[in-house]
Amino acid sequence: MTEPAVIVHDPTLRDGQHAVRHQLNAQQIRTYAAAADAAGVPVVEIGHGNGLGASSHQVGHGRLSDDEMLTTVRQALPRSRMAALMLPGWATSRDLRNAVRRGVDVVRVAAHCTEATVTERHLGVIRELGAEAQGVLLMSHMASPEELAEQCALMVGYGAQGVCIFDSAGHYLPQDVTARITAITAAVDMPVAFHGHNNLGLAVANSIAAIEAGARVIDACARGFGAGAGNTQLEVLVAVLERLGHHTGIDLRLLADAADLAERTLMPAPPTIDSISLVSGLSGVFSGFKKPVLAAAEQEGVHPWDLFVELGRLRVTAGQEDMIPDAARDLAAQGALQ
């Protein structure tokens, strides 16, 4: 077989955990992983929604431990490579060593889009362990193309064998993606990846724009299963790539079966673009803020749409959830003064 023109990276069993409060069980992840492997998906990512070591009171306890998930999925992937995500601050070098020992082939180290320096140590550890090390920039719409290119170059200097930008808020238009991927591919001589979210209904279009600008790896989830409005829809992406003549090495018929399986067994319902997902995308605010925004808006008697817009104006990012109640109180005070 010729090398795929586009490598599909499937984080259904990691990003999708956000939609079910990290409660997927062993049978669910084993069955989907086996179906993805049978379809020829090159890379299957597994883990708590926030990655290795993240199961906690703060972001939610997972139903399964990292060890249980890694062992279960590794056994279900005779052909596909297994991947994991880690965020410095949640995971440690010990978690990385344990993950590689349990069969992880690819480890992605993620940081906020302007904070690539925090990935240095962990990328080095992954290389020492013999796994493939990739660097990820989160909330990438909050940095210019030039800034992202500089940050990606730093990660390559630290040992990253690939770099990826996440459209964490689903904020991009295709031209935004084109500008950023073009800048990054000019700055690094490593595979570039794109991870889209579907808040504005553009995840597939943005993924195609990324490929046309030089990206070689695209993330996508079965039925779009992921946080908020969901991710790029895997089976749709591969179908569109097939129409465009891009070889992926994936059997589309078997992939469609895997997506049907995912809808039946993994999710209460496929993701949808509701009003909160829409305004979070427009405002460039992390979709995972939905629940605390709704709670704070109700507490202070303000409209959640207005609160998302205000959080976007303040450029609030994941980890700054404590600002949500403050912003709601400020909005309520402004309303009282009008």
- 56 SS3 class: strand
Strand partners, 84: 107
Q: In 70-138, which ranges are E strands?
A: 81-86, 106-112, 132-138
User: 335 by DSSP, 3-state: which?
Assistant: helix
Q: Tell me which H or E stretch contains 185.
A: helix 174-187
Q: 């390559």: which residue's tokens? A: 156
Structure tokens at 50: 């926030």
Treating both helix axes as pointing N-terminal to C-terminal, what angle do 234-244 and 203-212 enclose, rounded to 10 degrees?
A: 40
Cα 88 → chain centroid: 16
Residue type (1 letter), 37: D
**Annotation says 197 is catalytic:** no
Three-state secondary structure call for residue 109: strand
The one catalytic residue in 9, 18, 22, 171 is 18
Residue 298: count of CB within 10 angstroms of its CB:
11
The one-letter code for the residue type at 225 is F
Residue 140: which of 122, 121, 115, 161 has the closest Cα? 115
Which sequence positions are flagged as catalytic? 18
